Structure 1
């Protein structure tokens, strides 16, 4: 593929990257505030979802590490499959997270003292970086699609630690708040 056609692939997806990078956080924020039960919709709370989506976060972290190992060992096909799986896991997490919060009341963290500050630091950085990582993941993926591996590798060095942090802290947040689920 020539550099021009590679650039065309990137240009083709740039609009979608911008749209999704704005739409996803706004949709999550909007839907987070919608509780179907409080709106009178007869729906069962999906209280079984938090341990499932926490597990998916943990699985995403393992997949990301395996994908890094695969590419370091020049196993490009495995790396590609693992990265697509990590993206799929992130999408599944997001859908379950939204479904849970649309059917269940939010849980308040009940810890006291220093642990409360630790929890909120982890939670706030997790939330902020989960928004920040969206365009990074999309750009990194599109650069691989465009076979712009020099540029893909450059941004992947930024994307990987952010995405890994979000995945790992998602599990930590779950374990810290799980004793307070009703």
Structure 2
């Protein structure tokens, strides 16, 4: 019982600290000064991580349905590890680089009237996808962690119950992460 309590507290703390840290880094006007050119490649790297994660989630889901739990475990463990890598890269990027502004063609950090006119309804589509991606990525964290905990604790009934809605949300977040990157990539500062 003590280990379960520690696990639940850990899940709660991670689930609160991670989104709070990300929000602070994104909305902070202060960035850590860095001269490393490779930092500008992080969004593409993270899109690759999201692509691989989506593929592994699909394979892992199929393997679970086929009863190949060994391959299912491998796919899910790699997906979780990739999620941690994504988060570390994401935090590094937003601590050092300004956020992209969708439609800011001249990359001056301002979406002027002409730029807004040029992208028209596409900005609404982008922001809708981005908002759903952000909200669901924050919301899914505790459920992913609980799903892993239940699997490790061999509470398979609870694991199956929670992954019925966690898995599709995690997949959606991974796929929309790639879509957001593809839509925003022309507007990332170099």
Matches within 5 A, 1:46-85: 46-85=39-78
**Secondary structure in 1 aligned to 2:142?**
helix
Aligned residues: 172
Specify every segment of 5 or more residues in structure 1 that has no aligned partner in the other structure, as ranges: 1-6
How well do the aligned residues superpose, as a CA RMSD in angstroms? 1.4
Partner residue in 2 for 1:19: 13
Specify every segment of 5 or more residues in structure 2 that has no aligned partner in the other structure, as ranges: 104-117
The CA deviation string for residues 115-170 of structure 1, in whole angstroms up to 9 with x for no partner, is 11110000000000010000010111111111110110000001001100100000
Structure 1 length-normalised TM: 0.89
- Asked whether the equivalents of residues 44 and 103 of structure 1 are also in contact (C-alpha less than 8 Å), the reply is no
CA shift, 1:52, in A, is 0.8
User: Aligned match of 1:178 in 181, 185, 188?
Assistant: 185
CA shift, 1:9, in A, is 4.6
* CA–CA distance in structure 2, aligned partners of residues 9 and 146 of structure 1: 10
Partner residue in 2 for 1:36: 32
* CA–CA distance in structure 1, aligned partners of residues 188 and 15 of structure 2: 31
* CA–CA distance in structure 1, aligned partners of residues 101 and 162 of structure 2: 36
Structure 2 length-normalised TM: 0.86
